[in-house]
Amino acid sequence: MSFPTAPTLTRGEAANHGLHPVSDPHLTRTMPARIDAEELREWLQRADRPRIIDVRSAAEYRAAHIPSSSNVPLPLLREHLDQLAGPLDEQVVLICRTGRRAEEAEQSLAAAGLSRLHVLGGGIVAWQQINAPIVRGESRWDLERQVRLVAGSIVGTSILASTKVAPLKWVAAGIGAGLVTAALTDSCAMGALLAKLPYNRDLEPSIDEVLSSLRHQD
């Protein structure tokens, strides 16, 4: 798959084209802020390959991840932005399951002053769909699947219980409203809460382990 060399753009032109307005002497081609799986696969074969940061939970990362990627869970990234800003001040591709958490990480890193940031559209799901290389390990449920289980269980239980205690039907209504809000805002409060459970945090790396991993990949 080949791409034409992109012309040099001004800061305003770059913004209009969805490109980060940063001149990187190590880049052989300007890359967009949003890239697809095929573009990433091709980029990783070049000398100017980017650093890949996977912001999913450690459990999700261990189940399946892109070779050479580093795991920096989103909560840890937000908590230690000041320590991560230096190591991540380069061409970075952020990935998660489908792209939502990666976009949140992009916003946090951009607020910390970083600009050479890219998000893999469709996340690890899109990467697997093109049969790109993947490292597989212990399988665990990802957060989105956990959300569906918990939300469905609460709705089903509250509906059944409402036959005895009528007001419990509003619990189901509340969960439904929360899911609608999550879809409209592309956020998920329940997912954020589930991410803090021991099941999802027992494999989480410390900030020292993350920084050591990033240094070893330099």
Per-residue pLDDT at 101: 92
Per-residue pLDDT at 18: 40
Quick one: residue 186, left, alpha or beta (phi over 0 = left, psi -120 to 50 = alpha)? left
Per-residue pLDDT at 140: 67
d(CA 181, CA 187): 8
d(CA 146, CA 185): 19
What residues does 65 pair with on adjacent strands? 135
The model carries a pTM of 0.68
d(CA 177, CA 190): 12
Q: Which two tokens stand for residue 94?
A: 């952020």
How far the first Cα of the chain sits from its last, in Å, is 27
Q: Are 59 and 199 in contact (CB under 8 A)?
A: yes
Tens digit of pLDDT at every position of the chain (218 positions): 433 333 333 333 333 334 343 345 556 567 889 999 999 999 999 988 999 999 998 888 988 999 999 999 999 999 999 999 999 999 999 999 999 899 999 999 999 999 999 999 999 999 999 999 999 987 767 777 777 888 888 888 888 888 888 887 788 788 878 777 766 666 677 777 777 776 666 678 889 999 998 887 76
Per-residue pLDDT at 26: 59
Around Cβ 158, how many Cβ atoms within 10 Å? 19
Q: Which two tokens stand for residue 161?
A: 């219980």
Per-residue pLDDT at 165: 81
Angle, helices 143-161 vs 169-185, to 10°: value is 150
Q: Encode the chain in three state secondary structure.
A: CCCCCCCCCCHHHHHHCCECCCCCCCCCCCCECEECHHHHHHHCCCCCCCEEEECCCHHHHHHEECCCCEECCHHHHHHCHHHHCCCCCCCEEEECCCCHHHHHHHHHHHHCCCCCEEEECCHHHHHHHCCCCCEECCCCCCHHHHHHHHHHHHHHHHHHHCCCCHHHHHHHHHHHHHHHHHHHHCCCHHHHHHCCCHHHHCCCCCHHHHHHHHHHCC
